[in-house]
Structure 1
Amino acid sequence: MRLYEITLRPAGALGTPLAGDTLFGQFCWQAAYDPGLLTGGLEAQLARYGEAPFTVFSSAWPRLTLDGRPAYAVRRPDLPLAWLSPPPAGSRLQRLLHLKDVKQKPWLLLAEDLRLDFSRLMDDAGLYDLLLAQAPGEVQRLCRRAGGGRPVITLPQPHNTINRQTLTTGKDRFAPYTQEVHFYPPGVELAVFVLLNEAATDLDRVRLGLSRMGRTGFGKDASLGLGRFEVVGARELTPPRLEDANALYTLAPCVPAPDALTEAFFNPCVRYGKHGDRLATSKNPFKAPVVMAAPGAVFVPADAQALTRPWFGRAVTGVSLMQRHAVSQGYAPVLPLRLEVPHG
């Protein structure tokens, strides 16, 4: 599979985070309406998805320009803090303060070569300043006046359902409620890393599908104007190679096969999926919950051959009662790393 970077620019708030498995699901709906996006059509590709994925999407990560070169902010690997940055020699208090400082840095900067360097951990304020520095001066001034200081701001959005008989809100289904929306600083660009099987599709077709998603709206409350984005660039990348790699770092939610691991370091997340498009109004639009490893997981595969592939995980089937052949992306693009356990 070949690796590409597709750059998105959000045009407003997102009701659903741009996660890899969710991007895959919406791309499948695009392919369902436009069979030309996938060679042989969607059903043919899904039939062999468990053995040969036609595309694997990463989640969207902030994209920066540092010293004239692209860089990316991804999630800090879910490893013990002392493995990421060994505490210096000193008192127990000094070691604990050091680990506390590391814990407050949830981001890891990647250079253009996508090699993992644990010395480049960063906190929210530092990443926010880097992102804001790329915005026009007037935008910087307004953002600093507004405060926030986080690269992704999540806020509750109030909603009302009006009872047409009383022309007001009320109880039960007419009670006001809130839903989370996610904002990035103005002008921020996001990078999605996409692995493509060239026999099934190509960059132009995937870019077309993403562009349509951005115009009509991605995820929750797209009909209210959320989830708009623009595709502003795309290019091929060389997957990083590491001769002495013994572990893999994930760039999207992942579901590994039960016997595929010898060690795993991850934060679990549960995807309470829901059908989109015309199945969103079906008798049962809800999918079965899927337990996934959140992005930033580190896996030590049982098969050394897995270290040579740019993806890891498996297809997740049996997630829908309304659509028997529906699958979820349990695959994730991965970066190789050398995992060493510090002594002492």
Structure 2
Amino acid sequence: METLGKTFSQMKTYRIKLSLNSGFLTPFHADTLFGHLCWVIAYLEEEKELEKFLKPFKEGNPPFLISDGFPENFLPRPFSAEFNVEDPELRKEIKKRNFVSLAEFNHIREDKSLEELETIEPSIYEVTTTHNSINRLTYTTFTEGGLYDLEEIIVSYVSIYLKVVSESWKERVTELIEKLSNFGYGRKKSIGKGQFCLKEVEEFEFPEVKNPNGFVTLSNFCPSKNNPTEGLYKVFVKYGKLGEVFTYCGNPFKRPLVMIKTGSVFKTEGKPKHFYGRIVENIAPAAPNVIQYAYAFAVPIIYPEKK
């Protein structure tokens, strides 16, 4: 498969549409999805294939980049959205929105002020469902204290954006996602949560903006040395856990990791690159070989200046 053979300026973008067949408990974050793809390789292929898969990422030459998953036809609100909005009420409304339409997203990328918000919002719901715990000795429910609640996210379709250096890498990633659909995604997949199917893969290009001098990230990321520092951004601490067989290793917890949040905007010197960030190594005390995907899926923008 090609990695260094193509320059990153030649990366092609695709939009992957997933149909959700159940509620899910684990958000579709790029790093979590990347980890799931690694587990598919670990289960279905030889160990050397996983090492080969991860090598270019560790070397700072990712052959593909994935975004977080978003409700169909919506994208995260860039944190520059309210920067030049004069109406305080509209500014408040914009800041309440987690997602904006594709048209609004591209409007913001061009550093144009939103005069109003579209009334349509994504059909995404959070529901609480109550479940019974099973006594594994008697295979019956507990008489007391056996109930527990799960916070589920309900949405019909999720879009994930993919950048690749070659057609072969596009096929590799979509094949892994297809195989992942047989396992399920995230927490409680053993009881039917996180079930999905791969509905569609289509070429997708974000409209070009003139003279971009910044980027908005469509994934949480950890900046690497010499990455841009001037920006409108939010950070959070991710308390990750190991998955699958590592769940039972005695210490499944990863080290806390400070990440920059999806929707953050940074100013660049000239035209932005396709990606920023890095792979974080030595993230799990109990599993030294485990890594954390922390690349930014960068989309060019015009960085806002006070008008």
TM class by smaller structure: 0.7 to 0.9
2:212–2:270 CA contact under 8 A, matched in 1: no
Residue type of the partner of 1:25?
Answer: G
CA distance in 2, matches of 1:291, 1:121: 34
Normalising by structure 1, report the TM-score: 0.75
Identity value in percent? 25
Alpha-carbon spacing, 1:113–1:126, altered in 2? closer, same or farther (3 Å) = closer
CA shift, 1:250, in A, is: 0.7
Alignment counterpart, residue 189 of structure 1, candidates 157, 163, 166: 157
Alpha-carbon spacing, 1:243–1:80, altered in 2? closer, same or farther (3 Å) = closer
2:132–2:141 CA contact under 8 A, matched in 1: no
Alpha-carbon spacing, 1:295–1:235, altered in 2? closer, same or farther (3 Å) = same
Residue pairs, 1:1-344, within 5 angstroms: 1-35=11-45, 41-50=49-58, 51-63=60-72, 72-79=73-80, 81-83=82-84, 86-87=85-86, 95-111=87-103, 116=109, 119=114, 122=117, 126-128=120-122, 151-163=123-135, 168=142, 170=144, 176-184=147-155, 188-198=156-166, 201-238=168-205, 240-257=207-224, 259-301=226-268, 304=270, 307=272, 309-343=273-307
CA shift, 1:254, in A, is: 1.4
1:107–1:121 CA contact under 8 A, matched in 2: no
Q: 1:244-292: CA deviations, max 9, x gaps?
A: 1111101111111254223122222322222222222222222122221
CA distance in 2, matches of 1:30, 1:176: 32
CA shift, 1:153, in A, is: 1.2
CA shift, 1:169, in A, is: 5.1
Alpha-carbon spacing, 1:162–1:34, altered in 2? closer, same or farther (3 Å) = closer
CA distance in 2, matches of 1:107, 1:279: 34
Residue type of the partner of 1:44?
Answer: K
Greater CA drift, 112-121 or 17-26: 112-121
**Structure 1 runs of 4+ off > 4 angstroms?**
111-115, 120-123, 162-167
Normalising by structure 2, report the TM-score: 0.83
CA shift, 1:121, in A, is: 7.0
| Partner SS for 2:120 | helix
CA distance in 2, matches of 1:35, 1:275: 20
Q: 1:91-134: CA deviations, max 9, x gaps?
A: xxxx43232233344322225996735539747x6224xxxxxx
Gaps of 5+ in 2: 1-10
**How many pairs align?**
291
